[in-house]
């Protein structure tokens, strides 16, 4: 008998796309995701959105934030997460400033979107134990950092969550190919980036092709970063004892028993 843990629906692979900064090109990305039936995680800076902040990309293009009203309508059905108020470099911030940048962004996004915001994504690259403890203190369920894992596995630490691969990484094609063939238990593929990059390089087709292939894979489920965190935590509460498998979590959990897909509802148990 072989028992393996699975993602929702009994799928062996989960995929997450997570894009930062809430820029106008997200309109095109959300349209693409909606067309393909995929869910994304979008990490927003509420103050920069309210201030209509813009900056000039080295290619000459102006990178513009979505306005608050535009954003509230656009991201329906996708996860919205905190990316701080003003996108500061964390190496220069005191503990109080970090708590303000994280906590106040969370509060403003919650007011704008009318839902609880439980995810955090680091602006720039400087993560630390101090920043990690602030993310926990602010009540986030996970903190995604900027480092890539290059791997197909769940994070070792929810509060130092390494992204799978950056979308401009030249290894992206191989990463997606490897993901679609990955047979690891609970394989996880994750692509991070900014939609303005796709305008800057003048290539949406490559990303659209990858997302289309992923959406057509029958053994892959699309999940937001928060859904991943919640499901992984729930799976930690699956207990196998004396041949009896019990779901002690509050979410339905999926497994494969040899080749049979089984789902245990919260509180349910099954003799194997």
Q: In whole angstroms, how close is the CB of 101 to Zn ion at the nearest point?
A: 12
Helices (H) and strands (E) in the chain, counts: 9, 17
11 vs 144 by CB, closer to Zn ion? 144
Strand, helix or coil for residue 240: strand
Query: Least distance (Å) from Zn ion to the CB of residue 127?
Result: 13
Size of the site for Zn ion (CB under 5 A): 3
Sole binder of Zn ion in the list 7, 14, 20, 180 (CB under 5 A): 20
Side-chain-side CA neighbours of residue 17 (13 Å): 26
Residues 73-132 that bind Zn ion (CB under 5 A): 123
Instruction: Tell me which stretch binds Zn ion (CB under 5 A): 13-21, 126-134, 135-143, 248-256.
Output: 13-21
> Which span (15-23, 150-158, 168-176, 243-251) binds Zn ion, by CB under 5 A?
15-23
The C-alpha atoms of residue 180 and residue 173 are separated, in whole angstroms, by 11
Separation of alpha carbons 14 and 6, rounded Å: 9
Give the residue among 22, 20, 36 at the shortest CA–CA distance from 192.
20
Closest CA to 46 of 78, 92, 80: 80
Stretch that binds Zn ion, among 3-11, 18-26, 161-169, 252-260 (CB under 5 A): 18-26
For Zn ion, which is the closer residue by CB, 86 or 237?
Answer: 86
Question: Which residue of the chain is nearest Zn ion when measured via CB?
Answer: 20
Query: Min. distance of Cβ 19 from Zn ion in angstroms?
Result: 9
Tell me how far apart the alpha carbons of residues 79 and 65 are, in angstroms, rounded to a whole number: 17
DSSP-derived letter for residue 183 is: -
Q: Which residues bind Zn ion (CB under 5 A)?
A: 20-21, 123
């Amino acid at each position: 008998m072989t028992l393996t843990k699975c993602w929702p629906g009994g799928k062996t692979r989960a995929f997450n796309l997570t894009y930062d900064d809430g820029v106008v090109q997200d309109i095109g990305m959300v349209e693409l995701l909606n067309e393909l039936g995929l869910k994304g995680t979008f990490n927003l800076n509420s103050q920069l959105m309210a201030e209509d902040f813009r900056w000039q990309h080295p290619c000459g293009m102006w990178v513009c934030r979505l306005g608050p009203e535009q954003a509230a309508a656009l991201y329906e059905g996708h996860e919205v997460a905190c990316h701080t108020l003003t996108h500061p470099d964390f190496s220069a911030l005191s503990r109080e400033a970090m708590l303000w940048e994280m906590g106040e962004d969370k509060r403003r996004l919650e007011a704008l979107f009318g839902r609880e915001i439980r995810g955090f994504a680091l602006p720039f690259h400087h993560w630390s134990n101090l920043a990690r403890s602030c993310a926990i203190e602010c009540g986030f369920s996970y903190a995604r950092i900027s480092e890539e894992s290059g791997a197909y596995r769940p994070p070792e630490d929810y509060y130092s969550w390494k992204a799978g691969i950056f979308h401009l990484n030249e290894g992206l094609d191989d990463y997606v190919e490897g993901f679609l063939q990955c047979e690891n238990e609970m394989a996880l593929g994750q692509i991070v980036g900014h939609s303005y990059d796709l305008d800057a390089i003048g290539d949406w087709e490559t990303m659209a092709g990858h997302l289309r292939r992923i959406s057509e894979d029958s053994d892959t489920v699309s999940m937001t970063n928060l859904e991943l965190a919640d499901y992984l935590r729930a799976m930690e509460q699956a207990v196998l004892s004396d041949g009896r498998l019990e779901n002690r979590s509050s979410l339905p959990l999926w497994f494969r028993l040899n080749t049979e897909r089984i789902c245990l509802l919260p509180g349910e148990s099954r003799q194997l």
